[in-house]
Structures are given as structure tokens and as C-alpha cells.
Amino acid sequence: MTPTATGFAPTTTPLHTHTGPAIEITGRMGPRYDEILTPEAVAFLAELHHRFSGRRHDRLADRMRTRYEIGNGRDPKFRDDTAHIREDAEWQVAGAGPGLEDRRVEITGPTDPKMTINALNSGAKVWLADQEDATSPTWKNVIEGQLSLFDAIRGRLTFTSPASETAPGKEYRVTAERTPTIVMRPRGWHLVEKHIRYTDRAGRDFAASGSLVDFGLYFFHNAKQLIANGRGPYFYIAKLESSEEARLWDEIFTFSEEYVGIPHGTIRATVLIETLPAAFEMEEILFELRDHIAGLNAGRWDYIFSMIKNYRGRGARFVLPDRSQVTMTVPFMRAYTELLVKTCHKRGAFAIGGMSAFIPNRRDPEVTERAFEKVAADKKREAGDGFDGTWVAHPDLIPVAQAEFDAVLGDRPNQVDRQRPEVDVQAEQLLDVHIGLPITAEGVHGNVSVAVRYIEAWLRGLGAVAIDNLMEDAATAEISRSQVWQWIHQDRETEDGTRITREYVEGLLARVLGEVDRFEGDRFDDAAEVFREVALRDEFPAFLTLTAYAKHLVDAD
């Protein structure tokens, strides 16, 4: 029997009830799925969708209008209608909740049992439990990720690796005395959950919102237990594009707190500033979420993707060179991060830096040493700029990153009190993409190779993928395919004078398929088709994951 729900679950706070809207679970029910998809939890999802799904669609329509306007020559700017918010020096945000006072090193990763245990044993201050870009949203990953978190929060998560012919399975468990504070990242507003259907009062049937499903199930089951553990229900909010989207999340938080009977402001969010429109509304986003927000994060890979996406048709001056050359020190990235730190500290919020995704290569110590030097330099720059913490993707990077933040912070948990009055970022600086470096044949090939290899793994249910000594997630594939699309449509050439055409890229695609190690059950042919759909056609899909999820992502039995 599949769970369904209408109306409200019982709650300690009396709320108005209604009839009509319903949630239906159409996905296969696996072991223990009923512990997550309880009637009460499903009823909560129904109520979230009844109250907020229509406004989600409105905000997605706003995004389309913004992209259309930028594409037609209207650059984003700091808003005149919200100037009073930026000019009011008095208001401050809620700031850190319990367990979030010191965030100097945060580890990121998906929520499968083994990765959950590794993260909780890592020694990081915070774990970004990622149901978004580091998770391929198969039904199994979505629900079993919730189970991993459910068990971990209650101190009972274990994992046994499969046994082989020569060795028994190995058991993994959480052994750290102090585990990182969990900050869970639900899927962005654009993604749906096709295994859950929502029927509104008018009888219209929709796929459920991935955001509301991920947030709702985690919050409903774990909020009170997290509070009892001395922490709280904390969330990373991805891919926001406006303060109106932030206001929607704030109202969801307020409603949810009331629904389960916990104090207003218990939820803490950290918003990733990883879209170009959001960079122009940082203060407004903080203001709308001021009762619930702890800080902002510089989501740098998605930010580069957003820049390409919005300016992909605006001419040669908005074309970026090889992905490897778009570093944090190029003009538009430098302006964006400087503004983020100043804005956060002005309002009492944490500023969290970007990802270092290197995976130590134990067979090549020299490669690892050089990479560690680059990571240390990156984290030294962030700590010196005023960031309060940073991200890493591998436990071995934690000491490297922490040493640089320790050198600046000392015994202080953060440097929120450090203001940046010398920073004065203008709109044109956020749009200064001039780098002055060429596109190389190696860069084009690298983009095709990384995108295809990542998409192939994603279609098999892997969202965090080791590629060329880096832990990659969907953002890298998005940058890679977007650059290829833009180079083709802007009639660009490589450094040696070769035009980047569809035919040229098709040749590279064939080359990549010949270079990879094929295996039984691989999805490389499907990955190549997804790549063609998102990089080689006239249309530009807003997210490759939308195309891949709708047409190609199939749960294995």
C-alpha cells in the first residue's frame, strides 16, 4: 500500500485544517521507507504543497523573466525599490544557532550511510549533508539519504561494506566524540520529485517539489531530536535568485516551526549566493530571512555557471576562457566574494567560503603536495579576506584548511565582528568578466570529458564523483556544458585557430567515448545523448539535471 495524505497531521499547535489537496507516493517502497514516509510526515508534505507550491511556480516564472531581460541587454543592478533596506544600518540577522558558532571548516558530501559516517568522523566543524548537487536524486538516494540522517541524528547509524571472495564486509560506525553540526541542503526550487504526486484543490496533478520533499521530511522527523541533541534544524538553501525567493523560504520556516510546535527562529539557514541575480540582492536576502538566517556562502562553481547562463548570448566580451582559468582572483569573482564578506559582517551574519575539492593521490605524493599548497593558498586568501569558514570535499583537506583559519582566528570562533569599510563594489565590477586568456583545445576537450564522465555516473545514481583527482558534483558539469554551448553559439576559436562548432565537439565526444573505460551496465551512451541535448542544441536548458532527470534517470530495482 502506498501512503497518501490529506489535510493535517496532529500537532501541538492548533491550526486551520482543509480538505482536498493530497500527496500520493508512487515510488517503490523499500526496507524501512515507511519510517520516513509515515502518514503524519506525508500529511505535512501535503500541507507544505498546499500553502507554498503555487508561489514556487511564481518564483520560477520570475527567474525566466530575469534571464530573458538579461539576455536582451538589461544588466542586473542593485534594486531601487529595496534601497531603504540597504541604507538602514540598524537591523541584524539572527546569526548562529547552537553548534554553529565556529564554522571554520565545513565538509560537504552526499547522505548515503558510508559518506554520512565518514563526514561525522571527519573532525570538521560542520557537515553539509547534501541532497542537492552531490546527490543523484534517484528515489533510493532520496529516501535512504533521509534514513541515514534519521539514524545518525539518533546515534545509531552503522554501515557494513559488501563482503568479497577474499574478505568479509567491514563495519563502519560513528566513533568521534564530537561530531560536526549537520546542515542539510535540500534540492533547489527548480527540481521536482517525480515519485511523489501532489493533487491540489482543483484536482490538478503535479510532481512534488524536490525542495519541499527534502526539507519537509528532514524537518518533520528530526527537528525536535536535533534540539534535544543541543543543535537545531539547520539548512543550506541553494540557487536562490531573489529576495522574494528568500521570503518564501522564511514563510515556510515560520509555518513549519508553528506546525511542530517549536519556537519561532529555531531554524537557521545559510543561503548559497551562487547565482548572478542573488549577488545583487545579498542584503535583501538577509533581511527577508533575518529571523532564521545564520549566513551566506560563496558557491563559486555554480556562480560561474550562472554568469555563463545569463550572458551566454550577449556577445564575445562575455565569453570566458578555459574553466581552469576562471579562478577566484579574476575581476568578477573577486568583486563578488569581497561584497559577500562585507555584507554578511555588516548584518551579523557568517560568511562561508568556497569549495576545495582535491582528492589526495596516494600513488603520487608530488601531485598531492602541490595540490595541498594550492588549497592552503586559497584558504589563506579566504581567511585574510574575512571569511568565517570554508568548504572542503575530503577529510584530508581539513587540517590544511583549518591551519589557515586558525592562523587568522586564533581562539576566536569567527570574525563576524570584522567589518570591511574599504570594500565598495559597484554593479559593473560584478559584471567584469574580462580575463584576457584564450580558449585552448585542451580546455574544450576537458569540458566534454568531465561533463560526460560526470553525467554517466549521475545516471547510475552517483552525485559526488572522483574525476581527475577532484571530487566533482553537478556544478562542474554545468559549467562545462554551458561553456561548450556558449563557445559554439559565439563562434569562438581555440588558441590554434580551430573554430568550435557542433561538428568539432561531436568529434571530441566520440574521442571521449573512446577514451573511457567501458563496463557492463555503464551509461556512457545515455550520458553522451544528455550532453548533446544540453550543449549542442539550439535551446539552452536552464539545468542539465532537469533534462537528465526527466528523460534518463531510472531507478535500479
**C-alpha distance from residue 289 to each of 137, 142, 531 (Å):** 27, 27, 37
Residue at 119: amino acid letter: A
CB-based contact 207:187 (threshold 8 Å): no
Specify whether the backbone of 293 is left (phi greater than 0), alpha (psi in -120 to 50) or beta.
beta
**SS3 call for 283:** helix
**Integer Cα distance of 283 and 281 in angstroms:** 6
**SS3 call for 290:** coil
Determine how β-strand 293-298 pairs with β-strand 350-356: parallel
End-to-end CA distance of the chain: 18
Residue 473 designated active-site:
yes
**SS3 call for 107:** strand
Neighbours of 158 (CB within 10 A): 11
Determine how β-strand 105-109 pairs with β-strand 126-130: parallel
Backbone angles phi, psi at 247, to 5 degrees: -60, -40
Q: Which of 133, 250, 388, 473 is catalytic?
A: 473
CB-based contact 271:296 (threshold 8 Å): yes
Q: Which of 185, 300, 312, 453 is catalytic?
A: 185
Determine how β-strand 126-130 pairs with β-strand 181-185: parallel
Residue at 324: amino acid letter: S
Burial-class residue 64 by CB neighbours within 10 Å (0-12, 13-18, 19+): exposed
Ranges assigned E (strand) in 12-102: 22-25
What is the CA 77 to chain-centroid distance, rounded?
A: 24
Closest by alpha carbon to 12, among 322, 224, 168, 208? Answer: 224
Neighbours of 4 (CB within 10 A): 15
Residues marked active site are found at 185, 473
